[in-house]
Chain A
Amino acid sequence: MTGSFTLQSARKIAWREARASGGKFLFVILAVAIGVGALTGVRGFSTAFRRMLNTEARTLMAGDVSARLFVQPDANQEEALLGLAKRGAQLTRITETVTMAANPANPTPLLVSLKAVDPAEYPFYGVVELDPPQPLAKALCETCAALSQELALRLGLSPGGTIRLGGKDYRVSALVVKEPDRMTGSLNVGPRMMMSRAALESTGLISLGSRAAQRFLFKLPTTGLPVAEARDRVKKIFPEALVTDYRETHPLITRGLDRATGFLSLVSLVALIIGALGVAMAMNSHLQQRLDSIAVMKCLGARSGQIIRIYLMQTLALGVAGGVLGIAFGAAVQFAFPSLIERYFQLRPEFYFDWPSMLQGMLAGVLSTLLFTLPPLLGIREIKPNAIFRRDMKGTKPSWGERWKQARAAMFSGLVILVGLGGLAGWLTGSKLAEAARLGAWFSGGLLGALLILMAFAWLLLRGIRRLSPLTRGTLRHGLANLYRPGNQAELVLVSIGIGVMFTLTIYLVQHSLLKEIAESAPPGMPNVFLIDITEPLKEGVTTLVNQQPGVEKGAELIPSVAARITHINGQAIETLDLKGFGRRFLQTRSVTWNAQQPAGTKLLAGKWFEPGASGQLAITEDTSKVLRIQLGDVIDWTASGKVIRAQVKAIYRQESVRAGATQEFIFDPATLRDLPVIYFAGLRVNATQVARLQTKLYAKYPTISVVNIADVLDIIQEVVDQVAVVIRFISAFAILGGIIILAASVAGTRFRRIREVVILKTFGGTRWKIARIFSVEFLLLGATAGLLGAALATGFTGLIMKRFFEEAEYNWQWEALVVAIVGSALIANAAGWLASARILGQKPLAILRED
């Protein structure tokens, strides 16, 4: 009785077939597993690293989101805050105010910045370091206060002493060595001190109408409330407040995190491609070997649909098995690697492996398996049953109609693969739909372009070799002939190695350019101590004194500052310009400076720096030019100490590295500002442990000069930036290693088709050495050509990526890397080919001949 061919029958046949050739199937599963493992491993590490970096960045704010306002919240706002708390957000309040404080023994009071926190909750991230060391809750008891070193110095106090505040005395419990969120405080007017909120209340300083800033600090739950959403909600609750989140505490942090996130996403995509490539090679060579079985089944009455079902089920099972193994592999790598990473990279990512990333890895593995098996599966329809009788019939020229039919199927499956991969790429980046679609389209387009170039080149190369090989002799001739012989997958191998090299090298080149940029944006010698208000007569003395102090790593660099105000721009009074918000600062007197040379750490965007001896010229920042709508050649009139100055804009620049001193928005030529009253700022680099000592010395001799010490904050920034660099380096090393393994696997994947060849060569007297040499010619040529093409494409791709995704970064040429890529891929292809063929070379021909 005839019935329908059920899925169960297909499953049965698929399973029987798979069971018998365990070894071969294991190889396919392993190839899929390596692909999926690379993807899940990279993604797992990316997530772990991103969390780690974010945690570091959060310490600069001591929380995830901060809202600062100058009034107490009303009942509605309090209720809305409760709503946030219900979603898992924690909240602590910080009060910041300015008040007078004194040493009871020396009643001259000093204006201080006072910060009151709830030590039970504050800080959510990072720690407040105290001297002598003690828990914050103990240091901030109801009758205690912790002082900054500067305040202690100025008031002549030390731990154990007493400070008077609002007419009451408090015990100095400790000196604050490190206060993570210091830079985000609003009122950094005088030296700082810290109390508990309860203690502040007891001072009686805060009453209705007092000028105190309230800072609401939120810690978000690990899942369920993304930072962007939380930030929006907080902004809605407090429309008047200044709301920020941890991603924008410092321009360097923002940029570092952006770079890291962008790079990690990029690597994930590349891992996907490299992984999919491994899967594709494995599946393709697997199905190639099934051609005879398929032809036999067709002779026995199997319809194409049935066979497709059987092999679809088989490949699906292989994909799932490989996926599961790959996930396990990815997890194992993540589990085992942190200690290794810690040893070499001085950072330890926490183990991070969750269901969504496992599911993503699994789906990506199975989907790419399916996508890449689509062409060979569709090709099943084209397999003629009489292939068993007459293999040579394949050589007959198909009609144009048949060719179009075949091309149509190939084009359709190619399109499906591209769209599918683009979709996967968009999905993996996890951004919004429109952004994901855009990225997916970019990704597919780039891949298609690269594929077309590689395929065209592979075709040309093989044609060239075909003409060339008759001119050669012996081993070389055999090796060359191997490349274009029917059944050789040279084109496919060349394209896949080329793609592999292209992506792997792209990762390296992007990494190199990013690291260079990061290193330049945060040079290790960045000033961490600033001296403010140095007058002309004190200039020499202060410089000499500080430069002689121990622990000074980079001497004082003086920046002159002249107070000046803009009156007209191109003859138009500045008051008549429509300036909004922060732009209104230009209506007031600003600090301007001069510099004959373009300062280090700036990038000239337009125009030229002043010629020696120039006068009446100035350079402005990009931001200023935008706000004031000023272009090169525009004329600005100023007033400074009663004098009128006119200067023409000669250059527009951007501050590339972050200098924590005054932002230099306007830089004049030295002649224009001559003879105007000037005060100086100085920036210097001091070993963090020696800052207090320097402060004491300076205060003793020059009490009017303020010292701003940002060493502790800068340490955190430097740490984050360093970690970004390390993460980028590590992830790229990991991806490159994955790429190499998969390259090797794609060459190894051709081993089965070589069995027959080896047998025949051996039967006719070929020695193993001779055969290995023939293969070497083939592998070396394939590897080197693919390396060359991949390297050329990588160069183009990197330039594109740096422009598109890392807008500011510049691409740096890397000749050495290109050469290493070409030679390396030739050697890897050769080594992998040898390894994969080693067992075949040792086999006795009869066993294989008998299989036929």
Chain B
Amino acid sequence: MSNPPAGSPAIAVEGLTREIATGTHTVKILKGLDFTIPHGQFVAIMGASGSGKSTLLGLLAGLDSPTAGSIRLDGVDITRLAEDEMAKVRGEKIGFVFQSYQLIPTLTAEENVLLPHELQGRREDGSARARELLEQVGLADRADHYPVQLSGGEQQRVALARAFMTAPPILLADEPTGNLDSTNGQLVLNLLVEMNRARGATLVMVTHDAELARKADRTITLRDGQVVSDQ
């Protein structure tokens, strides 16, 4: 990977469009979005169900390709990257927190946290860091437990620890508290924000909860695939 140009934003989106052909007709999910996010900013993306929030997040993470437009992460255009090059970018630059945790059911909590580290082929032993992260999310004593043995809140905290394992400069969160009760949701959100601030990473969080969005530095609201407010 080449070094990012000095002073470039963490994320730059230009004319971002995503259409899906369903055989009989084409659905426009995103209709030419433009915005930039500077380094270290915490941005909430809001919108009703079907407004295109999750699609946008998936595109930012390079999990899908746009129909038109471009996305630059640290000045690097990721829209034309091949699948494996994109995977490399994800491994180095992006941490991800899903609504439904997406832990690998056959790995223990610690092994799940360790996974991105190992996938990057880092030489140093990551176990100490994985345990440290688990401790930060309050699960030091559950390191050997499998996902099925953990509650939803605990699973999401493991997912948080996993997202921070490789210290990515950009963190994307897709309704991270959507599947949790309010107490656990609050706990996870606080952890996410604190850990992110401590590391100075850029955080983009999709939510439809205005209360959560208030904690962000900036809120971008989508409706029918377009930005209706950015403040």
Which A positions have Cβ atoms within 8 angstroms of B? 1-6, 9, 12-13, 16-21, 292-293, 296-306, 381, 384-386, 388-390, 393, 395-397, 847, 850-852
Which B positions have Cβ atoms within 8 angstroms of A? 20-23, 54, 58, 61, 63-64, 83-84, 87-92, 94, 96, 98, 100, 102-108, 111, 115-116, 118-124, 146-148, 162, 166, 174
Q: CB-CB < 8 A to A296: which residues of B?
A: 102-104
- Could you say which of B88, B91, B119, B174 has the most chain A C-beta atoms within 10 Å of its C-beta? B119
Q: Is the CB of A300 within 8 A of B90?
A: yes
Quick one: given A302-B119, A397-B21, are A16 and B87 in contact (CB under 8 Å)? Answer: no
Question: Can you name the residue of chain A whose Cβ is closest to the Cβ of B148?
Answer: A851
In the docked arrangement, what's the CA distance between A305 and B64, Å? Answer: 19
Q: CB-CB < 8 A to A384: which residues of B?
A: 63-64
Q: Is the CB of B106 within 8 A of A389?
A: no
In the docked arrangement, what's the CA distance between A381 and B84, Å? Answer: 9
Q: Is the CB of B123 within 8 A of A299?
A: no
Q: CB-CB < 8 A to B146: which residues of A?
A: 20
In the docked arrangement, what's the CA distance between A296 and B100, Å? Answer: 11
Q: CB-CB < 8 A to A298: which residues of B?
A: 63, 87, 90
In the docked arrangement, what's the CA distance between A300 and B61, Å? Answer: 10
Quick one: given A16-B111, A852-B100, are A397 and B22 in contact (CB under 8 Å)? Answer: yes
Q: CB-CB < 8 A to B94: which residues of A?
A: 301
Q: CB-CB < 8 A to B162: which residues of A?
A: 300
Q: Is the CB of B104 within 8 A of A297?
A: yes
Q: Is the CB of A397 within 8 A of B100?
A: no
In the docked arrangement, what's the CA distance between A509 and B22, Å? Answer: 50
Question: Can you name the residue of chain A whose Cβ is closest to the Cβ of B172?
Answer: A299
Q: Could you say which of B98, B105, B116, B120 contacts A388, with CB atoms under 8 Å apart?
A: B98
In the docked arrangement, what's the CA distance between A305 and B162, Å? Answer: 22
The 3 closest A-B pairs by CB, nearest first: A301-B91, A5-B121, A20-B106
Nearest chain B CB to A17's CB is how many angstroms away? 5
In the docked arrangement, what's the CA distance between A660 and B146, Å? Answer: 77
In the docked arrangement, what's the CA distance between A3 and B124, Å? Answer: 9
Q: CB-CB < 8 A to A305: which residues of B?
A: 84
Q: Is the CB of A1 within 8 A of B123?
A: yes
Question: Can you name the residue of chain A whose Cβ is closest to the Cβ of B20?
Answer: A396
In the docked arrangement, what's the CA distance between A537 and B195, Å? Answer: 121
Nearest chain B CB to A846's CB is how many angstroms away? 11
In the docked arrangement, what's the CA distance between A17 and B106, Å? Answer: 5
Quick one: given A301-B88, A303-B84, are A16 and B107 in contact (CB under 8 Å)? Answer: yes
Q: Could you say which of B20, B120, B166 contacts A5, with CB atoms under 8 Å apart?
A: B120
Q: Is the CB of B121 within 8 A of A9?
A: yes
Question: Can you name the residue of chain A whose Cβ is closest to the Cβ of B62?
Answer: A385
Q: Is the CB of A386 within 8 A of B63?
A: yes
- Could you say which of A299, A397, A850 has the most chain B C-beta atoms within 10 Å of its C-beta? A299
Question: Can you name the residue of chain B whose Cβ is closest to the Cβ of A12?
Answer: B118
Nearest chain A CB to B179's CB is how many angstroms away? 11
Q: CB-CB < 8 A to A304: which residues of B?
A: 83-84, 87
Quick one: given A17-B106, A385-B63, A389-B174, are A300 and B96 in contact (CB under 8 Å)? Answer: yes
Q: Is the CB of B148 within 8 A of A297?
A: no
In the docked arrangement, what's the CA distance between A190 and B6, Å? Answer: 113
Quick one: given A304-B84, A386-B58, A389-B54, are A397 and B23 in contact (CB under 8 Å)? Answer: yes
Q: CB-CB < 8 A to A386: which residues of B?
A: 58, 63-64
Quick one: given A293-B105, A851-B148, are A300 and B121 in contact (CB under 8 Å)? Answer: no
In the docked arrangement, what's the CA distance between A722 and B94, Å? Answer: 74
Q: CB-CB < 8 A to A6: which residues of B?
A: 121
Question: Can you name the residue of chain A whose Cβ is closest to the Cβ of B106?
Answer: A20
Q: Is the CB of B22 within 8 A of A396?
A: yes
Nearest chain A CB to B161's CB is how many angstroms away? 13
Question: Can you name the residue of chain B whose Cβ is closest to the Cβ of A10?
Answer: B118
Q: CB-CB < 8 A to B23: which residues of A?
A: 396-397
Q: CB-CB < 8 A to A20: which residues of B?
A: 105-108, 146
Known: A1-B123, A384-B64, A390-B54. 12 other contacts (CB 8 A): A5-B121, A16-B108, A17-B107, A292-B102, A298-B87, A300-B96, A301-B120, A303-B87, A386-B58, A388-B100, A393-B20, A397-B21
Q: Is the CB of A2 within 8 A of B106?
A: no
Quick one: given A1-B124, A303-B84, A388-B98, are A9 and B118 in contact (CB under 8 Å)? Answer: yes
In the docked arrangement, what's the CA distance between A21 and B106, Å? Answer: 6
In the docked arrangement, what's the CA distance between A299 and B61, Å? Answer: 8
Nearest chain B CB to A15's CB is how many angstroms away? 10
Quick one: given A300-B115, A386-B58, A386-B64, are A851 and B105 in contact (CB under 8 Å)? Answer: yes
28 contacts between A and B (CB under 8 A): A1-B122, A2-B122, A4-B121, A5-B118, A5-B120, A13-B115, A13-B118, A13-B119, A20-B105, A20-B106, A20-B108, A21-B105, A293-B104, A297-B115, A299-B98, A301-B89, A301-B116, A302-B87, A304-B87, A306-B119, A385-B87, A385-B90, A388-B100, A388-B102, A395-B22, A397-B23, A851-B148, A852-B100
Q: CB-CB < 8 A to B103: which residues of A?
A: 296
Q: Is the CB of A2 within 8 A of B92?
A: yes
Q: CB-CB < 8 A to B20: which residues of A?
A: 393, 396
Nearest chain A CB to B156's CB is how many angstroms away? 14
In the docked arrangement, what's the CA distance between A19 and B106, Å? Answer: 8
Q: Could you say which of B21, B58, B105, B108 contacts A389, with CB atoms under 8 Å apart?
A: B58
Nearest chain B CB to A291's CB is how many angstroms away? 12
In the docked arrangement, what's the CA distance between A19 and B58, Å? Answer: 31
Q: CB-CB < 8 A to B96: which residues of A?
A: 299-300
In the docked arrangement, what's the CA distance between A728 and B99, Å? Answer: 61
Q: CB-CB < 8 A to A851: which residues of B?
A: 105, 147-148
In the docked arrangement, what's the CA distance between A1 and B119, Å? Answer: 13
Question: Can you name the residue of chain A whose Cβ is closest to the Cβ of B103?
Answer: A296
Q: CB-CB < 8 A to B54: which residues of A?
A: 389-390
Q: Is the CB of A300 within 8 A of B122?
A: no
In the docked arrangement, what's the CA distance between A393 and B119, Å? Answer: 26
Nearest chain A CB to B100's CB is how many angstroms away? 7
Question: Can you name the residue of chain B whose Cβ is closest to the Cβ of A4?
Answer: B121
In the docked arrangement, what's the CA distance between A12 and B103, Å? Answer: 17
Q: CB-CB < 8 A to A12: which residues of B?
A: 118
In the docked arrangement, what's the CA distance between A136 and B63, Å? Answer: 87
Nearest chain B CB to A454's CB is how many angstroms away? 28
In the docked arrangement, what's the CA distance between A300 and B100, Å? Answer: 15
Q: Is the CB of B63 within 8 A of A3?
A: no
Question: Can you name the residue of chain B whose Cβ is closest to the Cβ of A386?
Answer: B63
Q: CB-CB < 8 A to B104: which residues of A?
A: 17, 293, 296-297
Q: CB-CB < 8 A to B87: which residues of A?
A: 298, 301-304, 385
Nearest chain B CB to A568's CB is how many angstroms away? 84
In the docked arrangement, what's the CA distance between A850 and B151, Å? Answer: 9
In the docked arrangement, what's the CA distance between A367 and B68, Å? Answer: 45
In the docked arrangement, what's the CA distance between A23 and B98, Å? Answer: 28
In the docked arrangement, what's the CA distance between A300 and B91, Å? Answer: 6
Q: CB-CB < 8 A to B148: which residues of A?
A: 847, 850-851
In the docked arrangement, what's the CA distance between A303 and B89, Å? Answer: 10
In the docked arrangement, what's the CA distance between A293 and B115, Å? Answer: 11
Q: CB-CB < 8 A to A2: which residues of B?
A: 92, 120-122
Q: Is the CB of A3 within 8 A of B107?
A: no
Question: Can you name the residue of chain B whose Cβ is closest to the Cβ of A850?
Answer: B148
Nearest chain B CB to A392's CB is how many angstroms away? 10
Nearest chain A CB to B117's CB is how many angstroms away? 10
Question: Can you name the residue of chain B whose Cβ is closest to the Cβ of A25?
Answer: B106
Nearest chain A CB to B17's CB is how many angstroms away? 16
In the docked arrangement, what's the CA distance between A15 and B175, Å? Answer: 32
Question: Can you name the residue of chain B whose Cβ is closest to the Cβ of A5?
Answer: B121
Nearest chain B CB to A298's CB is how many angstroms away? 6
Nearest chain B CB to A95's CB is how many angstroms away? 77
Nearest chain A CB to B150's CB is how many angstroms away? 10
Nearest chain A CB to B116's CB is how many angstroms away? 4
Q: Is the CB of B118 within 8 A of A299?
A: no
Nearest chain B CB to A417's CB is how many angstroms away? 25
Q: CB-CB < 8 A to B119: which residues of A?
A: 5, 9, 13, 297, 300-302, 306
- Could you say which of B88, B102, B116, B166 has the most chain A C-beta atoms within 10 Å of its C-beta? B102
Nearest chain A CB to B110's CB is how many angstroms away? 10
In the docked arrangement, what's the CA distance between A384 and B64, Å? Answer: 7
